[in-house]
Structures are given as C-alpha cells and as structure tokens.
Amino acid sequence: MGAPVQSLASQTPKKAEHSIINDKRHRRHLLGNRLSRYYFFFSILALCFVLGLVIVFIGKTALLLFGDVSPAEFFLSFNWTPEEEVFGAAAFIVNTLILTALTLLIAVPVSVGMAVLCAEIAPKWMKSFIRPVLDLLVGIPSIVYGYLGLTVLLPFLRRVSGEGLGDGVLAAALVLALMVLPTICRISDDAIIAVPRKFRDAAYALGSTRLQVIMRVVLPAAKRGIISAIILGMTRAVGETMAVVMVIGNTPQLAKSLFTPSSVLTSNIVMQISNVEFDSNWNYALHMMAFLLLLISFVLILIIRVIGRKREDA
Amino acid sequence: MKLFKKFTVTALTAVIAVTATFAGIASAADTLKGKITINGSTALLPLTLQAAKEFQKLHPKVKIAASGKGSVTGPQAVKKGIADIGACDWDASVDVPGFKAFDGQVANKVAVIPFATIVNKNVGVDNLTTEQLAGIFSGKITNWKEVGGSDANIVVITRSFGSGTRVNYQAKALGGGDIVKKEKNYKETGSSGDMKTAVATTPNAIGYIDLVYVTGSDIKAVKHNGIAATTDNVINGSYKIWAYGYYMTKGQPTGATKEFIEYVQSKKFQNGSLKKLKFIPIAAMKG
C-alpha cells in the first residue's frame, strides 16, 4: 500500500468505511442465522407433515377393511385365504414377533460380545480390522443377504436338519441376525468406549479381574447405549422385507417349528401387494398389516425404553 | 446474493437454450404426438421397453413411460385411468379363476408366452401328465416315487396368487386344478427369478416358469404329456402350456396408443426384436 504518501485526513473516512463493512457483515451473519433457523424449523415441520400424511393415508385405507371384516377376525383368526375373502392375520402377527425375538436371541449376545471384544480386549490391529469390516457390512443391500440365504444358508440348513425345504423362521432369523449384527455391535462398541477410564481404573484398583470389570462395571455403565443399539437392530429386524421374503417360505401359516414355511407381516405384504385389486378388501387388509407393523415397532420401542429407564432408576 | 442471482439467470438461459435446440431437432416432419403410459405384467416388460425404444426413434414426439408390477395391475391401472395400456398375461376382458372380467376393456394380443414345468436337476422324472401335475400341486401326490421317480418327498414351489404365470399355468398345465397350500415342503416365490433360484437350489423341487428362463444345468424342463417344452412344439400346436400376452386398453385404442400397439403387432417387430427376446410371434399360432 502507498500509505506513507497518503495524508492523515484520508484515514478517518477509511476507518468509517471499515466499520460500515463490518456492520454489514454482522447483519448478514444475523440474517444467515435467522434464515437457517427458519430453514431447520421448516425442515422439521415438513418431516412431521409427511410422516403424518403417511400415517393418515395408510391408516385411512387400512380402516376401510373393518367395513366388511370384523377386527376380531383380522386380529384373532389364523386363517388367511384372501381368495375367498377370509382375512385372518394372527399368524403373521405372531410370526413377526417370533422372528424378531429369535433374531435378537441370536444377534444380541454375539454382537454385544463382539463389541466388548472390540472395545476392551482386542489388540489395536484387530480393532482396526474389525471396525471397518462391520461398517462395510451395514452397507450391503438386504436383498444380497437374502440371496445368500437362499443359495448358501438354505442348502446348509437342509443338509443339517434333513428337511426338504429348510425355509422357515430359523433361516430368516439367521439372515436377519447377520444383518442387524453390525448395527448393534458398532453402536454398543461406541457406548462401551464412552465409559470413562476412571471407572475401570477404580475397579482394577479394588482388585477386580478383567471379566469382573467388564461384567460388573463397563457393561452396566454402557447399558443405555447398548439398549438403544438393540432398539435400532430390532426395528430393522421387524421391518426388514427383502431378505426375509427369500428364505421364509411365504406360506400363510403359524410357524409351529423352526422349519415350517411361514410368512411374516412384511413378507406377506410384499408378496401380494402387486397382485391385488386397488379397491378390494384384500388391499385394505394389506394396508392394515402395514399399519400394524407401524404400531408393533412403536410399541416394541416403547417397551424397551420403559425397561431401560426402570433399570436405570433402580 | 447478487452472484447467486447471476448464476441462476445464466443457468436458466442455458437450460432454455438447450431445450429449444433439442426440441427444434426433434420436430422434424413427424406429426404423431402424445404420451403413452404402460403398466402391468413384468413378463411382458422387456418386450414393451424394446418396442418403446424403437417406436420413440420413429416418432420422437411420443413419450412412452413403461413400468412393470404384476399382471393384474395392468387392467386395474387402465380402469383407474392411470395407464393407457395395461400389460397382462391373460385376457382380462373375460373372467379367469380368481379375477373378474374388466368391463369395457379391449384385449390386444401382442405376443405368445410359453411356460414350462421345471424340476431340480436331481429329479429323475422327465415326463408328467396333466393328472400327475394336478395331483402334485393339489397335494395329493407327495412323493416322487408315485410318478415314477425315486423315493423322495416332492417340494412344491409356486408363485403367489394373482401372478400371471400362475394363472396361466393353472389353466393350461393343471387343467384348471387348484394349487393348494401345504404344511411342509411348499413355498411361494415373488418373481420368476426367485422361482428359478429356488428350484435350482432345492433338491426334489418342482416349479413352473416362462420358457425363456429355462437355462443352465441346475434346472430342467419336464415334458408335458410326453411333449417337450420347445417353441417349435408351441408353434405346431402340440405343446399346450402357453398363453397370449395382452395389451389392455379402455375401449378401442386411439391416436398414439393405437399406433404403438400396431407397431408391436407389426411383422417387422414380431419377427425381429420380439423373436430375439424369445417370445413367439402371434402370427405363428394357428388358433
């Protein structure tokens, strides 16, 4: 700058100009803040609106069913023969619950165990191998899992069990368990890492073994995170469709054994929705099942939240 | 803000200019205009897409949107006014088992679709009669030794109710017989691809599929009443398990829709692309 040549007089207006620019910038920032606040608020509002619309439209179509079919038949009858206007969805509801429970039974011990291994026990090189692999597994589309289930798992189950088909809740639960395992494992892993180091140090100082530290200190402290990991896994298991449809057999009957070809809410919807007439009870019944799915996952999440809170209070 | 505005204006101008240029090129000497929406059968979708591609080259001002879901959605979409053409694996203007006729719709034949009974490669049986098939799918025959095979339980794999393949197979191969759900060794699949994989990977399995899908060594097509499932046997009339594919329209087709259907029915398309896709030209059938 040619500052030395310029007189003092020219400096004052420059300063003023500077403060005006500053002021402008400040106002722009304020405006930006306000606008982004409106934007976020609008986003949330839009999301709620769309969510509401989904629920209303599914619910509206679903409730048309009860004009012709009694709720008692829909919820309590095990006879699903839509060709003959018999809509009993109890088998699907029970199967969905069985499948979800079985999936969690398989997936939770394994995935929480893996999370403990990852966070507490494994050497560094193993951690840096396991974590990216798990992250990769989350990204695999579910239909690929289903296809692997169909071509690899089912023949294996057939050989082991001596069944003719091998399809059923066990096959579906195994596939689902593999799918939710990375989710549960990685989130539990994060929860366990978040447990402060001083907890462990204190426990070791009191003479605990590593197993005692993990079981008595680390896991209880990370419980909240682990529970939300399980919730996430469970909602994925309840709503998962494509993988299940390929290995469960798609026969509307109660899963009396692990190898009974059966059907759950999601798989039944996807199998039939494209083959039914728009304005038919059958279509309404499928919408009702979708609505039910919404309610089931809602209730399951509530139950687990309540259990989680109670344990924390105790 | 100013910069942003400038950018928007430039972008808009560019888009308009490009659109105008393309529209200018496209408007060369063709008077046929319109928009055709096609919905329905997935079995006919490859044919529809190919025809649409060729037709749009001839008539650039016609826009064709095609999608596939299930056979019955075709005539339904036409009924609701969502689609101009509903592709369907059966003649939806008359009653078929499970589905009432769609009143006021016209069925335009566009192709012949052959179907085949398939079994897993480990099954020794290579010929089944209509009665035997009806027995197997209705659950009366449960062991392969009852139809001349080895002593093993039959695993029945079928399509879900309302599938066009299932409707036709039931009518033609089972003589109208029922497909009955069984407690065990029974499974429904959602698509032709799933059906093929399921039969290929399940020992002692039997199923049915479009003939074009019968490839590879894991599945084999079974003779029906002693006659092999080949396109030649379909054309000479000895193999009975086939069906016409239809384009359903609300009343007689008009305008661009009519032109399009006529294009699909034309000798050029039927003997060219349609044959290449392994459908059979409708003109080849005597009936």
Q: Does B198 touch chain A (CB under 8 A)?
A: yes
Instruction: Verify whether the Cβ–Cβ distance B203 to A158 is below 8 Å.
Output: yes
Give B122→chain A minimum CA distance, Å: 13
Contacting residues of A for B182, CB less than 8 Å apart: 251
Q: What is the pLDDT of residue A287?
A: 94
Q: Model-level pTM?
A: 0.80
Q: How far off is chain B from A266, nearest CA to CA, in Å?
A: 13
B68: closest chain A residue by CA = A274
* Of B174, B237, B245, the residue nearest B207 (C-alpha): B174
Cβ distance B153 to A164 less than 8 Å, yes or no, reads yes
Verify whether the Cβ–Cβ distance A249 to B190 is below 8 Å.
no
Asked whether residue A199 carries a pLDDT value surpassing 90, the answer given is yes
Q: How far apart are CA A163 and CA A300, in angstroms?
A: 33
CB burial readout B259-269, b (16+ within 10 A) else e = bbbebbbeeeb
Residue in A238, A240, A268 with CA at minimum distance from that of residue A252: A268
A44-48, A170-174, A240-244, A309-313: lowest mean pLDDT where?
Answer: A309-313
Q: What pLDDT is attached to residue B28?
A: 46
What per-residue string of b and e applies to A122-137 under the rule 16 or more CB within 10 Å gives b?
beeeeeeebbeebeeb
CB-CB: which of A83, A155, A272 is closest to B201? A155
Indicate the residue of B73, B185, B194 with minimum beta-carbon distance to A164.
Answer: B185
B111 Cβ under 8 Å from any chain A Cβ: no
What average pLDDT score do residues A224-235 get?
88
- Which is more confident, A245 or A311? A245
Contact B255, B54 (CB under 8 A): no
Residue in the block written with tokens 């299940």: A244
Measured at the alpha carbon of residue A306, what is the angle toward residues A304 and A308, in degrees to the nearest 5? 65
- As given in the structure block, the two tokens for residue B212 are 């074009």
Kindly state whether A313 is in contact with chain B, defined as any CB-CB distance less than 8 angstroms. Answer: no
Predicted pLDDT at B24: 46
Count Cβ atoms below 10 Å from residue A220 Cβ, excluding itself: 14
Which of the four pLDDT bands, split at 50, 70 and 90, describes residue A2? very low
**pLDDT of residue A125 exceeding 70:** yes
Characterize the bridge pairing of strands B62-66 and B34-40: parallel
Helix (H), strand (E) at residue A80: strand A80-81
Does residue A7 carry a pLDDT above 60? no
* pLDDT attached to residue B68: 84
Res. A304: pLDDT tops 90: no
Work out the average pLDDT over A118-145. 91
Chain A residues close to B186, C-beta within 8 Å = 165, 249, 251, 261
pLDDT score of A288 more than 80: yes
β-strand pairing of B127-128 with B105-120: unpaired
A244 touches chain B (CB under 8 A): no
pLDDT tens figures, B48-63 = 999 999 999 999 999 9
Nearest CA in chain B to A167: B187
The size of the A-B interface in CB pairs under 8 A is 81
**Looking at chain B, how many residues does it have?**
287
Share of chain A above pLDDT 70, in %: 92
**B71 contacts A164? CB cut-off 8 A:** no
Which chain A residues contact residue B76 at CB under 8 A? 277-278
Choice between A18 and B104, residue whose per-residue pLDDT is larger: B104
pLDDT at residue A32 greater than cutoff 50: yes
Find chain A residues with C-beta within 8 A of B185's C-beta.
164-165, 261
Cβ distance of B187 and A250 shorter than 8 Å: yes
Q: Which residues of chain B have pLDDT under 50?
A: 1, 20-21, 23-28
Q: How many CB atoms lie within 10 A of CB B112?
A: 21
| pLDDT at site B129 | 95
Question: Is A150 touching B (CB cutoff 8 A)?
Answer: yes
* Residue numbers in B near A250 (CB within 8 A): 160, 187-190
Three-state SS for chain B is CHHHHHHHHHHHHHHHHHHHHHHHHHCCCCCCCEEEEEEECCCCHHHHHHHHHHHHHHCCCEEEEECCCCCCHHHHHHHHCCCCEEEECCCCCCCECCECCCCCEEEEEEEEEEEEEEEECCCCCCEECHHHHHHHHCCCCCEHHHHCCCCCECEEEEECCCCHHHHHHHHHCCCCCCCCCCCCCEEEECCHHHHHHHHHHCCCEEEEEEHHHCCCCCEEEEEECCECCCHHHHHCCCCCCEEEEEEEEECCCCHHHHHHHHHHHCHHHHHHHHHHCCCECHHHCCC
Instruction: Report pLDDT digits (tens) over A138-180.
Output: 889 999 999 999 999 999 999 998 888 889 999 999 999 999 9
